[in-house]
Structure 1
Amino acid sequence: MTVHDLVAMGRVGVDLYPLQHGVTLDEVRTFEKFLGGTAANVTVATARHGRRAALVSATADDAFGRFVHRELLQLGVDDAYVQTITDGPPTPVTFCEMFPPDYFPRWFYRYPTAPDLLITPESLPLQAIREASAYWSSLTGLSQEPSRAAHRAALEERARAPLTVLDLDYQEAFWREPGDAEGDARARARSQAVVALRQATVAVGNLAECELVTGESEPRRAARALLAAGVELAVVTQGPQGVLALTPDEEVGVDAFPVTVVNGLGAGDAFGGALVHGLLSGWDLERTLHFASVAGALVAGRLGCSTAMPTTAEVQALLSDVEVADGAM
């Protein structure tokens, strides 16, 4: 059996992105179709850096499901653990609006649920999860059963192995239940995150997501709270304000890489895949964060997410250009 550099578990589907920007969805005339879902995007981003990446997820037995499998393979991701569920909901579709530089609302068509939330503990490739050099899962997978039980089983199988990553990705629509009062969905997500953080060794999230989990709105305090929750590396992304990472012994902050934003939705996934690559390469934390930040910026300047993920050479070339420019000043 192939031992993967990364096994990621979670959301997969189809993104339909508008080709007309600066208008609302009802005014959009044409769309382009892409592989989507944060876990899928992270595996693609990692594969683009020459890593062996596999996705644990599920699709329906439909046209979009076939598209997902084909795109994963074409983009270098092992789809052997992406199940096909024949008697469940359709493969999900996500629409968005594009108002660069910082407004990209999304509509998730995952009703009443999605195949990737129907993964069961019994269906998991536990050996592949256990033996992978890195494992990535997101908070979304803990939002519903049986996916919640499957994600917990995967984390238990990892037994806090190095590079067991919890992505604090929070989409409120997945957590809402009928009759909820304001704040109930957030409280539900927070309680699940607290448990999962005890089994993870790395936490990654934007500042709003870190605040949801820790109650801290200041980046350094939020990162310290994540360390106190059980992880060994806490990474807080802050968009144009850069990124901050803390370990018990080290604090590193890097500035955001400037970019003309086209679509900001895939930047975090590109950052995640590049972060995994840097950590697996044994780079120091500052080099890893610079590399990941440039990878995220490159995707933010492009339309798609999965197909926009940069190669190592693209990221290194941009870093080299910056170093040359800085040296000339």
Structure 2
Amino acid sequence: MSAAPRISVFGSVNMDLVAYVDRVPGSGETVTGTAFRQVPGGKGANQAVAAARVGAEVAFLGAVGEDAFGEELRANLVDHGVDVSGLRTVPGVSGVAHIVVDGDGGNSIIVVPGANGEVTGVAEGDAATIEGGAALLLQLELPMKAVVSAARTGRDLGVPVYLTPAPARELPDELLSAVDVLVPNQHEAAAITGREDPYEALTALLEIVPEVLLTLGGDGSLHGRRGGEPVHVPARRVKAVDTTAAGDTFCGSFAVARAQGRGPEEAMRFAAAAASLSVQRHGASSSMPTRDEVEALLEG
């Protein structure tokens, strides 16, 4: 296996405030929770930690607020070996996510952007961090103009650009034209294409980007490249206790495996193993496995 690849993540960092319940309350209803946890998260930070834990050298680009959450979020990334020299501190509060996890491990999330909303584009010095990397990972929890700015920078520097289109929203052509690998889940793929069938959605997506990794939850993942045949890899069967950040774990792990020379199918199996370990633990970044844990599971 090759040396640790260098990966940049331009994205969000939030403090996750997680309530666990047997079932999610309806409108106007109050239910009693079973537990509460405060865990560092944010789709960008989650992908950064996931990639770092499975063997990449990761640099994170984004923003936190001047509050106590900001200090904790920065420290969490540092503790996981992520380079935070590109993580700015801006006036105001850090981003937060209010998450409700039900008895089956499913979740619903409200994100309040905070400092993430102050990121308007690639800052001075960010391009130097991105340049020469094996991948640039993007999501949609930052303002769209910021994501477009980063994607263009990656394209201009010849760095493969991965985009997780979440939260789902309309994707401008100027963004899609700079994306090398689109990583939606099945709901996001359906929202983008209007096609509920994953294979039909995959075909439609490959008309606008050259490579797609479509995650299907308990049904595994589906990969396609223009001119090639689709590849499906099933999910590992485990008892999920918390699916928060499972998709981010999958994406970060897949990007690292690809950067280290694994083919799409092998990288999907590596990412599936990582995600299966994460859903058996509570929290976001706190649930992500190490490379040794993933390799042990694959060997077993």
**Same fold per superposition (TM over 0.5):** yes
What amino acid maps onto 1:96 in structure 2?
A: I
Of 146, 152, 155, the match for 1:150: 146
Question: 1:315 is matched with which residue?
Answer: 294
Question: 1:130 is matched with which residue?
Answer: 131
Q: 1:123 offset after TM fit, Å?
A: 2.1
Q: Confirm or deny that 1:254 pairs with 2:233.
A: yes
- Answer yes or no: is the 8 Å Cα contact 1:14–1:93 preserved in 2: yes
- Answer yes or no: is the 8 Å Cα contact 2:64–2:90 preserved in 1: yes
Deviations 1:221-272 (A, max 9, x none): 211222210x222011111111100012242111111110111111101101
Q: Secondary structure at the match of 1:93?
A: strand
CA distance in 2, matches of 1:301, 1:200: 32
Runs of 4 or more off by more than 6 Å in structure 1? none
Q: 1:16 offset after TM fit, Å?
A: 1.9
| Distance change >3 Å, CA 45–CA 289, structure 1 → 2 | same
Q: Confirm or deny that 1:163 pairs with 2:160.
A: yes
Q: Secondary structure at the match of 1:41?
A: helix
Question: 1:114 is matched with which residue?
Answer: 114
Of 194, 214, 238, the match for 1:215: 194
CA distance in 2, matches of 1:159, 1:23: 42
Q: Secondary structure at the match of 1:16?
A: strand
- Answer yes or no: is the 8 Å Cα contact 1:204–1:236 preserved in 2: yes
Question: 1:326 is matched with which residue?
Answer: none
Q: 1:21 offset after TM fit, Å?
A: 4.9
Of 51, 54, 57, the match for 1:49: 54
| Distance change >3 Å, CA 200–CA 35, structure 1 → 2 | same
What amino acid maps onto 2:194 in structure 1?
A: G
Q: 1:288 offset after TM fit, Å?
A: 0.6
Runs of 5+ consecutive residues of structure 1 not aligned to the other structure:
142-146, 172-188, 322-329
- Answer yes or no: is the 8 Å Cα contact 1:270–1:299 preserved in 2: yes
Q: Which has the higher contact order (CA 8 A, sep 6+)?
A: 2
Q: Confirm or deny that 1:96 pairs with 2:76.
A: no
CA distance in 2, matches of 1:252, 1:95: 35
Q: Secondary structure at the match of 2:245?
A: helix
Question: 1:237 is matched with which residue?
Answer: 215
Sequence identity percentage: 28
CA distance in 2, matches of 1:106, 1:20: 14
Q: Secondary structure at the match of 2:18?
A: strand
Q: Secondary structure at the match of 2:241?
A: coil
Q: Would you say how many aligned residue pairs link Structure 1 and Structure 2?
A: 290
Of Structure 1 and Structure 2, the greater helix share is in 1
Q: 1:314 offset after TM fit, Å?
A: 0.8
Q: Secondary structure at the match of 2:183?
A: strand
Question: 1:12 is matched with which residue?
Answer: 13
Runs of 5+ consecutive residues of structure 2 not aligned to the other structure:
none
Question: 1:292 is matched with which residue?
Answer: 271
Question: 1:190 is matched with which residue?
Answer: 170
CA distance in 2, matches of 1:209, 1:98: 20
Deviations 1:248-299 (A, max 9, x none): 2242111111110111111101101110111001111111111101111111
- Answer yes or no: is the 8 Å Cα contact 1:43–1:54 preserved in 2: yes
The alignment's TM-score, normalised by the length of structure 2, stands at 0.90
Q: 1:31 offset after TM fit, Å?
A: 2.0
The alignment's TM-score, normalised by the length of structure 1, stands at 0.82
| Distance change >3 Å, CA 122–CA 314, structure 1 → 2 | closer
CA distance in 2, matches of 1:266, 1:203: 17
| Distance change >3 Å, CA 91–CA 4, structure 1 → 2 | farther
| Distance change >3 Å, CA 85–CA 150, structure 1 → 2 | same
Q: Confirm or deny that 1:273 pairs with 2:243.
A: no
Q: 1:85 offset after TM fit, Å?
A: 0.5
